[in-house]
Amino acid sequence: MPGPARRRRLDAGDWTPVLLVTARDEEADRILGLELGADDYLTKPFSPRQLVTRVKTVLRRAAGPPTEPIRSFGRLTIDTLSRTLRCDGQLVELTTTEFNLIAHLTRHPGQVFNRDQLLAQVWGRAGYRDTRMVDVYVSQLRAKLADASPIRTVRGVGYSATDLTT
């Protein structure tokens, strides 16, 4: 299992998907692996077909839907090829998950997503129990973007992105 130093290096802008392949099959091990940033978790024994299918799925999920490489959203400029975000022309340092979350929300302006939807669509974890993880990442993004943050809370429902310049 990668330690925190390894995880920080992967989150520092590297968009390489991570598939953990391990003999550890306890629920706590799976949860820890996914919380540390893995995109999927596969336990031994497994068939070669299952491994290939999981790799294809993780790569497809990491690629996301086709989109314009550079788009503007309010005061933000999102470059999906270089996976960078600029606010008023200044580069904002984001983790991989933070970038994926802001890119997803701004790709669907005005659409409200609940925590379960965001976990499934951004993290690829449908049915994941700890939905508060979404709140943590939204809070981190808001802190980094300050008054330029397009993320709006829809009480009792979830989050959306609103272009504040229109």
Min mean pLDDT across 36-40, 122-126, 136-140 is at: 122-126
Note whether 123 and 33 are within 8 A (CB): no
Q: Is 142 exposed, middle or buried (0-12, 13-18, 19+ CB in 10 A)?
A: middle
Q: Is residue 75 part of a domain?
A: no
Same domain, 47 and 98: no
Q: Is the pTM of this model over 0.85?
A: no
Give the count of alpha carbons within 13 A of 122, CB side only: 27
Domain count, the chain: 2
Alpha helices in 64-95 (DSSP H): none
Q: Is residue 24 part of a domain?
A: yes
What are the tens digits of pLDDT across the range 38-87? 888 899 998 999 888 888 888 877 766 556 788 899 999 999 889 999 99
pLDDT band at 15 (very low <50, low <70, confident <90, very high): low
**CATH for 24:** 3.40.50.2300
**CATH for 156:** 1.10.10.10
Q: Is residue 84 part of a domain?
A: no
Host domain of residue 24 = 4-63
- Residue-level pLDDT at 68: 72
